[in-house]
Chains A and B, each alone.
Chain A
Amino acid sequence: MAHDHDHGHDYDEEMGFRVAALERLLTEKGLVDPAALDELIDTYQHRVGPRNGARVVAKAWTDPDFKAWLLRDATAAIGSFGFAGRQGEHMIALENTASIHNMVVCTLCSCYPWPVLGLPPVWYKSAPYRSRAVSDPRGVLQEFGVRLASDVEVRVWDSTAEVRYLVVPRRPPGTEAWGEEQLANIVTRDAMIGVAEVQLERVT
């Protein structure tokens, strides 16, 4: 985490004033709406997170028609949950199978499907992930604890400002009798980025 962070409190304070200056300027010019701003920050901080995506994946696992729809037109299928908008305008769902493993990166900045996964984790925004996901995807997957058989094809998808990806991970064996809600609880953010597999170990 931030243990090796060399800017401390002063840095945050300085940045606080720097961004507050932008806020005041833009508010005075009528370019931002303070109420909308508060609402927006609250939404992304507290209400949108990977749980949205987990519900989509759980439905795809239990409902073959929904899954077919999701893989054909992810924007519409995800939109049926009410998860739409900023950074989710054009979604593509990628299904992981026994022979294909998909993982997602944004090599240029950090494009990420906000409506289904919330805001990106720190590592997703870091240069090492952005470059190594492309140059050495298997090595990256191994660091995240994913060991794939050599005959599994790894496909790396580079997000853009226009297109965002959601990985539909493989449903773990032993969950055949589970309902959607129970399944949604085991789907992790990392699995939907394609750097983890869904595990059963923590389920009671």
Chain B
Amino acid sequence: MNFEIARDEGGPVFKAPWEALAFGLVVNLHQRGLFSWTEWADALAAQIREAGAAGDQDRGDTYYLHWVKALERLLIGRGLADPALLAALAETLEREGEHRRAQQLR
């Protein structure tokens, strides 16, 4: 395992828009009382721990992936979402997105 720490020079805080959205969703859900910050930190830490056990190098670049998975799991655990529904919804959005792009190309 490479123990070198990836340094940065104060670059952007989010690498892609989805990271910012995932971040915002969690903070807003917390603000609105769906979970305490301790509950969230525990869920995120568990996700990171599992990914590490499964061989994730965890150099900080997969952080928001852990964040998304922890959120999905928390919602599923509360009965607010189920995996099949989320996958179907993502597919629908992708189709809609493709449709929109196709229109833009014309």
Contact = CB atoms under 8 A, between A and B. Distances in A.
A68 interface: no
Given A12-B16, A12-B18, A21 B90 contact: yes
Size class of the contact patch on chain A: 35 or more
Contacts of A129: 5, 60
Contacts, number: 165
Contacts of B52: 127
Interface residues of B, number: 61
A74 to B, nearest CB: 18
Contacts of B40: 161
Interface class of chain B by DSSP: helix
Contacts of A18: 18, 68, 86, 90
B25 A29 contact: no
Interface string A139-173: 01001100000000000000011100000000000
Given A29-B80, A126-B59, A126-B60, A40 B27 contact: yes
B13 A118 contact: yes
Interface of A: 1-2, 5, 12, 15-26, 29, 31-33, 36-38, 40-41, 44-45, 50, 86-87, 108-111, 118-119, 121-129, 132, 140, 143-144, 160-162, 189
